[in-house]
């Protein structure tokens, strides 16, 4: 019996009414979960093929039996469909699509915009561009170079720019308050524009050359520097000629250290894929401005469903011989290209370990507005790059498999030690709480989540603890547990949510007793609670587990895999709490405002205030009368400063 008879007539009528236009389709199951997202040149033809064939016992056939609802969106072109499809895949996390997740934004090198200073005015930082590591939303007025595969790659590039062009890296506030050069000037990493050791014109030229260096125009820079050096020498300006000679020597040394035949390539991405043990890795190596910046691995999910889904999307029956279908490696690589370059600028050349669909590259070119080429089986330098990327993909995948095997063993060991459910270890959920403050100030609680054998960063939560006696950790723990589980307990009783299998609190009997009170009040199982009590001398490896249901303490052993997992979760909760507390404390101590944000406070007045009180904390603790005694600060301005910092 074919599957067409199993579908709701309303669904089949919607399929029959689809237009023969490009678009994107989404399938949903009875619970509203997204099963699959796909794109098509011809929506009617593609979607109809799902409901007219018998797909047997394949994974995709199993998926089709679950479809109860469908949504479609018609677009103007295949390129538009490509963009929408992969945005939806990233947003909806469908069960049968290959999915690449990258929670970390890429780092960039930022070159601040120069603002022309007034004639005869003070030397302000804004007139001298600064190079800096940057991650976040971009501002159009500044220049950004990248993305870079890692923070290390950005910082290494900044170091090169300091050596060759001696651009500043200091904050504007530091620049505006300097009276003599810093150490970077002494070691020839900065030209000290803050104290006038370089003219604005020369600094602007160095900045322009640094930009050209980042764009790969190194030989042009060397040629121009050589011409200027010879011109200075002809005019007997030997000091200026020597400065240019030193800059050329530094640049030549940098180029020699890079020692890579770039073969005319300035911006290239090298993509290699490796599949093993049911897992996959795509290794991305970046070349920007002719410099190899490093690698970054990506590990997709839902790989096991890829072959069947792609075969169906190609209009093939899954029972057809696999030779007619793309390799799994090609499917994974195409999914990466389609999803990765939604948010990241695409270079003109991709060197790939597997062939990539021409229609995909055409759609990518159409979307970016410039031609993008994928080169499979490259030669010469590109081949060397690809071999390096393939080797790194294999190494990263082997590391992942080893880590996952180790982590799964730890999960199993903990479940066995604490009599946790053993039938669904992949779904075992642990939540851990920690309290952090400094002498009662800026108290915060953290909740971190462990599931699927790893920490789930997206499910972490911080709680600002208020209305308690400063330093009362027990009251803080009570507050965070009540806030976390009051609604969750009610939802769990109604079958709308799931409680964790284990709740860890960082502390001994006192914290566990407080957790016990909360769980009794909420009607929750006391067997869920365990406290991580520090051992003798607070030494790592001697921790004991304290339980709320009356069980005896458990010492798992210094070399226990279960203790290693508990320590990992506990330490992550502590790290997450401390970083939040420090950020909150810093904000409190400056009243959520910086001096620069207060109207009427310029560089000179700010410098006077900092010099008088020794820092922002000192200003915040001063009275209005004390602040008003600083030169240039009126009573009204002193009151404004006091309000801003309190």
| CA 193 to each of CA 189, 203, 217: distance values in angstroms, whole numbers, following the listed order | 12, 8, 25
Whether 450 is in a domain gets the answer: yes
- Clarify whether residues 570 and 458 are in a common domain: yes
Q: How far apart are CA 157 and CA 74, in angstroms?
A: 45
- Clarify whether residues 443 and 534 are in a common domain: yes
Whether 115 is in a domain gets the answer: no
Whether 200 is in a domain gets the answer: no
Cα–Cα–Cα angle for 165, 168, 171, rounded to 5 degrees: 165
How far is residue 294 CA from its own chain's centroid?
17
How far is residue 603 CA from its own chain's centroid?
35
Q: How far apart are CA 645 and CA 589, in angstroms?
A: 7
Q: How far apart are CA 109 and CA 117, in angstroms?
A: 24
Q: What is the DSSP string of 211-277?
A: HHHHTT-HHHHHHHHHHHHHHHHHTT-HHHHHHHHHHHHHHHHHHHHH----TT-SSEEEEEEEEET
Using the structure block, give the residue that is written with the tokens 């030169």: 631
CATH number where 56 lies:
3.40.1440.10
Q: How far apart are CA 481 and CA 476, in angstroms?
A: 9
Contact indicator for 354, 328 with CB cutoff of 8 Å: no
How many C-beta atoms lie closer than 10 Å to residue 373's C-beta? Answer: 12
- Clarify whether residues 389 and 323 are in a common domain: yes
Whether 34 is in a domain gets the answer: yes
The number of domains in the chain is: 4
Whether 557 is in a domain gets the answer: yes
- Clarify whether residues 441 and 574 are in a common domain: yes
Residue 10: what pLDDT? 84
- Clarify whether residues 525 and 634 are in a common domain: no
Q: How far apart are CA 50 and CA 596, in angstroms?
A: 62
- Clarify whether residues 21 and 69 are in a common domain: yes
Q: What is the DSSP string of 98-159?
A: -B----SPPPEEEEPPP-PPPTT----GGGS-BEEEE-S---TTSEEE---SSHHHHHHHHH
Nearest alpha-carbon partner for 367 in 342, 387, 392: 342
- Clarify whether residues 483 and 595 are in a common domain: no
Query: pTM above 0.85?
Result: no
Contact indicator for 40, 314 with CB cutoff of 8 Å: no
Buried b / exposed e over 51-77, threshold 16 CB at 10 Å, is: bebebeebbbbebbebbbebebbebee
Whether 259 is in a domain gets the answer: no
- Clarify whether residues 570 and 529 are in a common domain: yes
pLDDT below 50 — which residues of the chain? 1-5, 256-263, 315-324, 588-593
Q: How far apart are CA 421 and CA 501, in angstroms?
A: 8
- Please give the DSSP secondary-structure letter assigned to residue 303: G
Residue 467: what pLDDT? 85
Alpha helices (runs of H) in 494-594, residue ranges in sequence order: 509-522, 561-589
Residue that terminates a domain, selected from 30, 61, 92: 92
Using the structure block, give the residue that is written with the tokens 């997992």: 565
CATH number where 330 lies:
3.30.420
- Clarify whether residues 479 and 363 are in a common domain: no
Residue that terminates a domain, selected from 92, 117, 145: 92
- Clarify whether residues 600 and 555 are in a common domain: no
Q: How far apart are CA 453 and CA 450, in angstroms?
A: 7
CATH number where 566 lies:
3.30.420.340
Contact indicator for 480, 465 with CB cutoff of 8 Å: yes
Residue that terminates a domain, selected from 375, 398, 421: 398
Count Cα atoms within 13 angstroms, Cβ side, for 407. Answer: 16
| Helical (H) or strand (E) element with 25 | strand 23-28
Whether 176 is in a domain gets the answer: no
Residue 252: what pLDDT? 64
Whether 165 is in a domain gets the answer: no
Full domain range(s) for residue 631: 590-644
How many C-beta atoms lie closer than 10 Å to residue 319's C-beta? Answer: 13
DSSP lists the bridge partners of residue 373 as 349
């Amino acid at each position: 019996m074919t599957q067409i008879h199993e579908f709701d007539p309303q669904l089949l009528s919607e399929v029959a009414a689809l237009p023969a236009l490009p678009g994107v389709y989404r399938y949903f199951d009875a619970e509203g979960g997204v099963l699959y997202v796909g794109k098509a040149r011809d929506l009617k033809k593609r979607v109809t093929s799902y409901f007219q064939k018998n797909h047997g016992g394949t994974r995709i056939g199993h998926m089709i039996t679950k479809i109860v609802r469908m949504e479609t969106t018609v677009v103007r072109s295949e390129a538009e469909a490509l963009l929408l499809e992969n945005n939806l895949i990233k947003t909806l996390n469908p069960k049968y699509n290959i999915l690449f997740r990258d929670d970390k934004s890429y780092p960039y090198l930022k070159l601040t915009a120069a603002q022309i200073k007034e004639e005869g005015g003070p030397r302000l930082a804004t007139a001298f561009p600064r190079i800096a590591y940057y991650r976040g939303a971009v501002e159009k007025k500044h220049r950004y170079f990248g993305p870079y595969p890692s923070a290390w790659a950005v910082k290494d590039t900044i170091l090169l720019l300091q050596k060759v062009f001696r651009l500043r890296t200091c904050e504007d506030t530091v620049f505006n308050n300097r009276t003599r050069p810093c150490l970077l000037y002494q070691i020839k990493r900065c030209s000290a524009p803050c104290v006038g050791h370089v003219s604005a014109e020369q600094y602007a030229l160095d900045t322009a050359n640094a930009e050209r260096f980042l764009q790969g125009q190194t030989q042009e820079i060397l040629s121009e520097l050589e011409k200027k050096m010879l011109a200075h020498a002809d005019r007997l300006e030997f000091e200026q000629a020597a400065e240019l000679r030193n800059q050329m020597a530094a640049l030549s040394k940098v180029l020699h250290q890079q020692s890579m035949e770039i073969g005319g390539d300035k911006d290239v991405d090298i993509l290699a894929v490796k599949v093993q043990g049911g897992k996959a890795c795509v290794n991305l190596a970046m070349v920007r401005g002719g410099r190899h910046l490093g690698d970054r691995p990506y590990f997709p999910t839902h790989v096991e469903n890829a072959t069947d889904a792609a075969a169906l999307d190609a209009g093939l029956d899954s029972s057809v011989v696999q030779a007619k279908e793309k390799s799994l490696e090609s499917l994974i690589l195409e999914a990466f290209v389609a999803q990765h370059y939604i948010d990241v600028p695409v270079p003109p050349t991709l060197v790939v370990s597997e062939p990539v669909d021409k229609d995909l590259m055409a759609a990518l070119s159409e979307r970016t507005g410039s031609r993008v080429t994928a080169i499979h089986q490259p030669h010469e330098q590109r081949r060397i790059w690809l071999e390096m990327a393939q080797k790194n993909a294999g190494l990263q995948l082997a590391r992942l498999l080893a880590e996952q095997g180790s982590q799964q063993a730890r999960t199993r060991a903990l479940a066995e030690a604490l009599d946790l459910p053993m039938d669904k270890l992949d779904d075992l959920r642990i939540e851990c709480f920690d309290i952090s403050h400094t002498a009662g100030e800026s108290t915060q609680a953290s909740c971190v989540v462990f599931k699927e054998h790893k920490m789930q960063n997206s499910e972490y939560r911080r709680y600002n603890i208020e209305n308690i006696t400063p330093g009362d950790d027990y009251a803080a723990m009570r507050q965070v547990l009540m806030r976390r589980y009051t609604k969750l307990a009610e939802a769990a009783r109604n079958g709308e949510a799931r409680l964790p299998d284990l709740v860890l609190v960082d502390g001994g009997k006192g914290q566990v007793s407080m957790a016990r009170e909360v769980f009794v009040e909420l009607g929750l199982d006391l067997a869920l609670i365990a406290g991580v009590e520090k051992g003798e001398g607070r030494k790592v490896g001697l921790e004991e587990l304290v339980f709320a249901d009356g069980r005896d303490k458990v010492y798992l052993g210094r070399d226990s895999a279960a203790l290693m997992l508990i320590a990992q979760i506990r330490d992550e909760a502590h790290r997450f709490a401390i970083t939040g507390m420090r950020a909150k404390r810093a904000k409190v101590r400056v009243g959520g405002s910086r001096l620069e944000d207060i109207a009427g406070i310029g560089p000179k007045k700010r410098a006077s205030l900092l010099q008088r009180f020794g820092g922002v904390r000192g200003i915040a603790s001063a009275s209005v009368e004390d602040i008003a005694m600083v030169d240039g600060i009126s009573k009204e301005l002193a009151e404004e400063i006091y309000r801003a910092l309190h």
